[in-house]
Chains A and B, each alone.
Chain A
Amino acid sequence: MPSIAAKGRSYKKGDVMFGYYVDLARRRCRQNLSMASLLVLTMAIGIAATMTALTIFGALAGEPLPGISPHLYVATMDAREAVEKDNADYAQPDSYLALRDAKAVVDAHRAPAQVALAQSMTTVGKPDGSVSDQANGFIVYGEPLSILGVPLRQGRPWTAAELAADAPVVVIDSKLAEKLFGTEQALGQSLRMGSKTFRVIGVTAPWKPHTVFLDVRRNQNNPLGSDEQFFIPVGAALAAGVGPLTSGECGEGAPVVSFQSTEVSSCRWLELWARLDTPTEVASWRAFLVGYAAAQHAAGRFVYAPHAAIYGTRAWMALNHVVPDDVGLNLLLAGAFLLLCMVNVAGLLAARFLRRQVDVAIRRALGASTRTVFVQHLIETGLLGLVGGALALPLTWLGLWIVRMQPVAYADAARFSPGVFAALLLLSITVGLVVGILPAWRACRQPPALQIKLA
């Protein structure tokens, strides 16, 4: 079997001489440096644009509470009562329930854990009025900390008895405690919310889901959400005049439809979530809700057929367009841009490889198989892709930095992480190999004799 020697090593026919090919690729790039840099730069720009868009999309479209949100389900039904039956804007059953319905479902205990909540924002201060601040938090019926996995640093959640008795207790996060009392050790302290004084019974770590999925409607245009700084039981909150951020669906003739209203008795304003671990639990909770809603409809409270349904976290986020349309559009645009860059590079590579037909023909005549010629060319484009990826790294970093500077709600999602780096590496090698396939295939299919003759 014939063998050739390169760089002091001997190769058998058909061997893939990796080191030699790398060396060949390097020489060729040096021969035509401007073309090589054009190829690399084009790939780098395409990869960087895609990585920037992918990073933001990935940060927004991931699980909002890893390990917890996949088991959470929200209830929806057409719970409209007579007061709002002619609301022209009503499109499909939403997630807002009246307090009495939310209470009834939670108290029926048909799921391992349930909670009804509404986003609120209110002024929280010391009882003497010396320090106060606006804080963001949830008005809750049920026990929120365990179902949402909010880490408690001190104290305890409220008890069922406290909830039932509308006891003025509150759980706050350590940042709010720090701000109000100068220390995280706020257990037993009193603070003022609305018109009443509340006792701090628990202090949590700063907590928010990665993306908004609880009470999405009151958190629109804020896909990353903000820290939830307090949890307050619903009865005590309403008694103190602490209401939800917006009143919800109240229908015509409701008392007040404005910011932080507590006149919510005739409104649907609480969202009901349950943790369901098995398909059986999912089915039985759904069946219970369908039954409950049908009973309310039969009793004449719900005016329309209720169409009760439940949604998992991801489905609910998709339905409510939590990931802004712009982010998806950016990803699409970046993908199209990368595709264009790849076609561009493939075209240039094809021209570049075909100009070397003579080299290829000589190698073929000396015994290189079609396969080794193909592999040689792929190694060259793979290397170009890798160099493009290395160049794309600072470009991606720059792109993310530019996005972070933008006044958009998702700017904070544009952060570089090790995962991004790994994805970038993978993407650049893939891009390098994919663009090379067609030109390499074309190059290795030259009949050697003809080419040598032509030369």
Chain B
Amino acid sequence: MHLAPIVATLRHHKLTAALLALQVALACAIVTNALFLIAQRVDRVLVPSGLDESALSIIEVNDLDAGANPLSVHQTDLAALKAVPGVEAVAIVSHVPFAGSQHGTGVCANLDAVHAAIKARGLVAGCATADLYAGGPGALPTFGLRLVAGRAFTADEYALDDPGKSIGSHAVPAVIVSRALAQRLFPQHPDQAVGRTIYFGESGLFHGQGTPIVGVVEHLHRANISNDDKYDQSLLLPEVPNTGNAVFALRSEPGEQARVIKQAKASLLKLRPQRQMSADSARSYADIRAAYFKGDRTMIGLLLAATLGLLFVTALGIAGLAGFWVQQRNRTIGIRRAIGATRRDILRYFQAENFLIVSVGVVLGVALAVLLNAVLMQHYELPRLPIWYLPVGAATLWLLGQLAVWAPARRAAAVPPVVATRSV
């Protein structure tokens, strides 16, 4: 295929060809960035919490009048929940990922790092930020956390919180960490975290009291989603929260969940009719997670719709212009056919012309895509566009161009040679 005659023809359509190339460039830039945004959101929505989500339900009660020792009230609740048919495990916990509450702390791998952090008034090497979760006996199996090293807590390791004290405010004899936190604290020996002593919370950072790691779990996501690489750094403490506001984690067969939640709620209300339980105080974990990510899901839908709309409009534009050109060049095509060009030649001509214009647009579009990404990075928390998105965006536009030009090119190829003999 010789490109020279195509280029020569396009020189007569400078404005239209330029506008078409510009359109392709814009589409390429926007689609590339939109695809990247979609991928980011999908990653967010799919991030593992570390919990066995399909079997988990969460029930919250709020007893403002639970008295001086709220835990005594909630121990009764725990027994009642265990008695609900279908409940395989139940535990009282501080909170779960993606439900709103969060307890953060600094964690250091040794005392020197603690002193350095206090001196520097911030994070230093050997220290990290992490989330604290607390759970009473049975929290680990109820959550369905996967131990990759070490062991679960033993019965004598559990500490009862003083009433009204926040979790992590006093020392515990053991702690389980997420693998990501172990890697952050012990980059040289991430596999040998079990048995090492770490320092966190008030007892560790203020009083220098260390806590041995007894186990490492595969994942335990922090309470809220974050865009950095620290999202999976968490600690699980053998500690029973003791406040009027209690969170129960229940484990049951996924199919049984709806019934179990209903019955559990009823038996909790039967124990204390005056307690407050709103409609969403008893939910499956899947519902909690869906509610947390609903904004992201909406945004994914919107971005997808916008991308498809954009591609559709671009295709319409390409097809519309190609259609015009075919009409305009009817006679020329006839002459070419009359002097020996095959239908295939005509088809190829229009395809090559489209490829040429789209290519110019794509080159410009790739540069625009990088520019747009830079603007987005400046205004929103977005990472740099991975380089491989650029060829994907370019290929999309090439494919779209060829698809859009197919029908007009076929129409051009169908122009009979006899047209050459007619005047316009």
Do A and B interact?
Answer: yes
A408 CA / B164 CA spacing, docked (Å): 34
B58 interface hit (Cβ, 8 Å): no
Instruction: Give residues 309-352 of B contacting A (CB, 8 Å).
Output: 309-310, 313-314, 316-317, 320-321, 324-325, 327-328
Residues from chain B with a CB closer than 8 A to the CB of A324 are: 295
Query: Cβ of A343 and Cβ of B321 under 8 Å apart?
Result: no
Query: Cβ of A350 and Cβ of B16 under 8 Å apart?
Result: yes
B298 interface hit (Cβ, 8 Å): yes
A418 interface hit (Cβ, 8 Å): no
Q: Contacts A325-B380, A344-B313 hold; do A89 and B129 have CB atoms under 8 A apart?
A: yes
Write the nearest CB–CB distance from B293 to chain A, whole angstroms. Answer: 10
Residues from chain B with a CB closer than 8 A to the CB of A49 are: 306, 309
Query: Cβ of A256 and Cβ of B314 under 8 Å apart?
Result: no
Chain A, Cβ-Cβ closest to B306:
A333
Instruction: Give residues 15-49 of A contacting B (CB, 8 Å).
Output: 35, 38, 42, 45-46, 49
Chain A, Cβ-Cβ closest to B381:
A325
Query: Cβ of B106 and Cβ of A351 under 8 Å apart?
Result: no
Indicate which residue in B22, B34, B243, B320 contacts A333 across the interface (CB closer than 8 Å).
Answer: B34
Residues from chain A with a CB closer than 8 A to the CB of B20 are: 347
Contact with B along A113-127 (1 / 0, CB 8 A): 000000000010000
Contact with A along B172-210 (1 / 0, CB 8 A): 000000000000000000000000000001100110000
Task: Name which of A203-211, A257-265, A282-290, A365-373 contacts chain B.
Answer: A257-265
Task: Name which of A58-66, A229-237, A334-342 contacts chain B.
Answer: A334-342
Contact with B along A440-454 (1 / 0, CB 8 A): 001000000000000
A259 CA / B303 CA spacing, docked (Å): 36
Indicate which residue in B278, B295, B310 contacts A340 across the interface (CB closer than 8 Å).
Answer: B310
Indicate which residue in B37, B245, B380 contacts A259 across the interface (CB closer than 8 Å).
Answer: B245
Query: Cβ of B205 and Cβ of A252 under 8 Å apart?
Result: yes
Contact with B along A369-412 (1 / 0, CB 8 A): 00000000000000000000000000000000000001111000
- Chain A residues within 8 Å of chain B by Cβ, number: 53
Q: Contacts A89-B104, A325-B380 hold; do A256 and B164 have CB atoms under 8 A apart?
A: yes
B19 interface hit (Cβ, 8 Å): yes
A344 CA / B316 CA spacing, docked (Å): 9
- Chain B residues within 8 Å of chain A by Cβ, number: 60
A348 interface hit (Cβ, 8 Å): yes
Residues from chain A with a CB closer than 8 A to the CB of B206 are: 252-253
Query: Cβ of A340 and Cβ of B314 under 8 Å apart?
Result: yes
Most chain B beta carbons < 10 A, residue from A46, A134, A263, A333: A333
Residues from chain A with a CB closer than 8 A to the CB of B324 are: 348, 351-352, 355
Q: Contacts A89-B129, A340-B313 hold; do A328 and B380 have CB atoms under 8 A apart?
A: yes
Residues from chain A with a CB closer than 8 A to the CB of B205 are: 86, 252
Task: Name which of B117-125, B152-160, B253-261, B262-270 contacts chain A.
Answer: B117-125
Query: Cβ of B202 and Cβ of A347 under 8 Å apart?
Result: no
A57 CA / B295 CA spacing, docked (Å): 16
Q: Contacts A88-B106, A337-B310 hold; do A347 and B317 have CB atoms under 8 A apart?
A: yes
A329 CA / B40 CA spacing, docked (Å): 14
Q: Contacts A35-B320, A123-B276, A341-B313 hold; do A253 and B16 have CB atoms under 8 A apart?
A: no
A325 CA / B299 CA spacing, docked (Å): 11
Query: Cβ of B129 and Cβ of A38 under 8 Å apart?
Result: no
Indicate which residue in B22, B118, B309, B321 contacts A45 across the interface (CB closer than 8 Å).
Answer: B309
A positions within 8 Å CB-CB of B: 35, 38, 42, 45-46, 49, 85-86, 88-89, 123, 134, 241, 252-259, 263, 324-326, 328-330, 332-334, 336-337, 339-341, 343-344, 346-348, 350-352, 354-355, 406-409, 438-439, 442
User: What are 13 A-to-B residue pairs whose CB atoms are below 8 Å?
Assistant: A38-B316, A38-B320, A45-B309, A86-B106, A253-B169, A254-B166, A255-B166, A256-B164, A339-B26, A343-B23, A344-B313, A439-B15, A442-B15
